[in-house]
Amino acid sequence: MSIFSSGFARKTLGLMTAATFILVLIAILSIWMVVRTQESAKSVASDREVRIAATVILTALLNAETAQRGFLLTGKEEYLAPLASAESGLPGYLSTLRKATRSVHENDANITRLQELTSIKMRELTRTIDLQREGRHADALMIVNAGEGRTAMDEARNVLGQIIATAESRVGTSLGAMEADARQLAWVTGIGGLSIILFSLMALHFVKENTAGLVAARQKVMELNTGLEDRVAERTTSLTRANEEIQRFAYIVSHDLRAPLVNIMGFTSELDVSTTALKTYFDADEPTEEQTLAAKRAAAEEIPEAVYFIRASTTKMDALIGAILKLSREGRRELKRERVDLDTLFAASAANLQHQLDTANATIEIPQELPSVVGDRLALEQVFGNILENAVKYLAKDRPGLIEVAGEESGGRVKIRIKDNGRGIEEKDLERVFELFRRAGTQDRPGEGVGLAHVRALVRRMGGDVTVTSTFGHETTFEVDLPKKSRIKEPHVESL
């Protein structure tokens, strides 16, 4: 997972957009609902007004009729008070009703009819009362009996009843709608809220996931960093070692190659001196005794000696260059990787040394089982063959030789120890034996001082190391520490 995951950004951004969208939707819906509720409330109020106005008119008409009846029965003027108030109030009540009806967008045709009916009714009432006052009681009753007033009253009651019923039903509908709206709003808000919570949880999950990814990535970076430091340290050590080796190598080569050169130059000049002595002797008509002696010495000793040394130095130089070339070739040789059984390898090496072993009255003990390694067979043969050969070569003369081989394997590494009871190496020479052209101890065995330098270079190329411990005069142990599976290094600088 990359640190700035575009997937993460896209997901969280999407969730945030969705949540915001839902919030805005809820807000718009709420506002819309409020507006609707307000409208509904307004219409409910108007309908109430219509109903109240209608009721007031009906009451006024009934009051007026009751007053008329009372007056007609008793003839007492005091019964007429409600009629007077109804007569004066009705026009106002009617206009109120009309206004209210208009405000609810209701047809006001029936109001006009109601107006007519009320005026018919009121006229009838007024006439009967006037007749009663004039004392014409019978005429008044006749008008009542005629039924014109009753008909008008019935129709008015009908019309008013209708208006009231309509208004009430409308109030009911409005209230129902308001309730439904409120319920809807509650649902929308609830679902919206739940969605926002859900989105938040999802976003939280993504954030957690991403954070976990970031932490893991950081962890990995840190691990890589540590690994890198280790690798740098490892490389630095190996480079430092290589550098020291190359310096030592250059030092050794420069000295060892220079030494025969000094001889060649020197004895060439000495040849000059000798030939001059000969020339002086031959050129002289009568050579002196001293000249004769010098010429004799030159011819008999000095010239052959010079030639001998020049020849020897040339041979030596050739041998040195040959050894360096051999090391260089070996160092450049591509190492192969194959499984090598060390017990078989040691058995073969011991067989090769059998003649030397017999001569030196020595035995080699090789365990039945030795670990196997993955490495270059030829290189391993050279390494162990060389160490065994040295062990046989530098045995002590005063006791039978015993060379013991032991091996162990642990933690992906194989350690082989070759121990001999030979003459041993002095402590100061322990490191020196691995140097090119250097040999330790009494120089009574042939050799050029190349073997162990070559062994160390080979072992190091296979990713291992070789060390030596010794008790001078008693025993020597070479330990070769190899990786179980060697990774082949670039040709080692030591072996240029």
Minimum CB distance to another protein, residue 247 (Å): 10
Q: Which CB sits closer to another protein, 94 or 395?
A: 395
**Cβ contact 126:148 at 8 Å:** no
CA-wise closest residue to 176 among 369, 43, 366: 43
Q: Which CB sits closer to another protein, 306 or 350?
A: 306
| Token digits of residue 184 | 């809807």
Q: Which CB sits closer to another protein, 68 or 263?
A: 263
Query: Phi then psi for 288, rounded to 5 degrees?
Result: -70, 170
Minimum CB distance to another protein, residue 238 (Å): 24
Q: Which single residue is written with the structure tokens 């065995």?
A: 445
Let me know if 394 is exposed, middle or buried by CB neighbors in 10 A (0-12, 13-18, 19+).
Answer: buried
Minimum CB distance to another protein, residue 313 (Å): 6
| Token digits of residue 111 | 């109001």
Q: Which CB sits closer to another protein, 11 or 454?
A: 454
Q: Which residues, 6+ apart, have CB-to-CB distance to 70 below 8 Å?
A: 76, 79, 80
Minimum CB distance to another protein, residue 292 (Å): 20
Minimum CB distance to another protein, residue 263 (Å): 4
Chain positions contacting another protein, by CB under 8 A: 251-252, 254-256, 258-263, 265-270, 305, 309, 312-313, 426, 428-429, 432, 438-443, 449
Q: Which CB sits closer to another protein, 226 or 247?
A: 247
Q: Which CB sits closer to another protein, 41 or 262?
A: 262
Minimum CB distance to another protein, residue 395 (Å): 18
Q: Which CB sits closer to another protein, 79 or 267?
A: 267
Minimum CB distance to another protein, residue 297 (Å): 12
